[in-house]
């Protein structure tokens, strides 16, 4: 396993963030829930190893909600994505956010698995939401991973323990007896 550090994105790196997102997302404009986000304008964290940037997370904090906008690791299974996600989560907690969530797409099984393994649950599925997203960003492809039609937004959330009475408020109840 390689060693790396996670640090905040520096102002002088905004051009690099834009180029990185264009390379890995096709554009620095990312659409979630009918809203266009400019990745190079967002707060974020960079993972770095030996002076090389090996990952990036961007997010927005607004009205006590933290939404992860992008997450990329250039070193799979090395803990980079987890460390970046954890840094964004810590920032959400520091800002006393009530929600920590993200949007992915119906075809992105690797991301859904990654987030579920880190405690996220599916909060909502917005059927055919990408039709509206394509009006804002026409370059969104119609076919995604595994040749699947790219159609729906999948909202995933990680419960944040806040106060005693709020703890567990967002958890999905289990069906049937436990044990």
pLDDT over 50 at 173, yes or no: no
Q: Model-level pTM?
A: 0.86
Domain ranges of the chain: 5-158
Q: Is the pLDDT of residue 60 over 80?
A: yes
CATH class of 5-158: alpha beta
| Count of residues making up the chain | 179
pLDDT digit string, tens, across residues 15-52: 999 999 999 999 999 999 989 999 999 999 999 999 99
- Report pLDDT for 166: 43
- What string of DSSP letters covers the chain? ----EEEEPPGGGHHHHHHHHHHHHSSSEEEETTEEEEGGGS-EEEEEETTEEEEEEEEEEETTEEEEEEEEESSTTTTHHHHHHHHHHHHHHHTT-SEEEEEEETT-HHHHHHHHHTT-EEEEEETTHHHHHHHH-TTS-SB-GGG-B---EEEEEE----STTTTTTTPPPPSS---
**So what's the pLDDT on residue 2?**
66
Token duo for residue 36: 């266009």
Q: Please check the confidence at residue 176 and state whether its pLDDT lies above 90.
A: no
Looking at residue 162, its pLDDT comes to 55
């Amino acid at each position: 396993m390689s060693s790396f550090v996670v640090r905040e994105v520096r102002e002088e790196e905004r051009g690099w963030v834009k180029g990185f997102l264009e390379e890995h997302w096709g554009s620095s404009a990312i659409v979630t829930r009918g809203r266009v986000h400019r990745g190079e304008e967002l707060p974020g964290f960079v993972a770095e190893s030996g002076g090389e940037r090996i990952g990036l997370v961007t997010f927005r904090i607004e009205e006590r909600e933290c939404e992860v906008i992008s997450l990329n690791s250039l070193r799979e299974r090395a803990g980079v994505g987890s460390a970046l996600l954890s840094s964004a989560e810590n920032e959400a907690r520091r800002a006393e956010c009530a929600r920590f969530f993200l949007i992915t797409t119906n075809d992105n099984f690797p991301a859904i698995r990654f987030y579920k393994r880190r405690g996220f649950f599916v909060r909502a599925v917005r059927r055919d939401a990408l039709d509206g997203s394509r009006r804002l960003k026409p370059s969104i492809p119609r076919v995604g991973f595994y040749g699947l039609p790219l159609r729906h937004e999948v909202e995933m959330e990680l419960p944040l323990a806040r106060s005693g009475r709020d703890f567990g408020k967002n958890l999905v109840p289990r069906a049937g007896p436990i044990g």
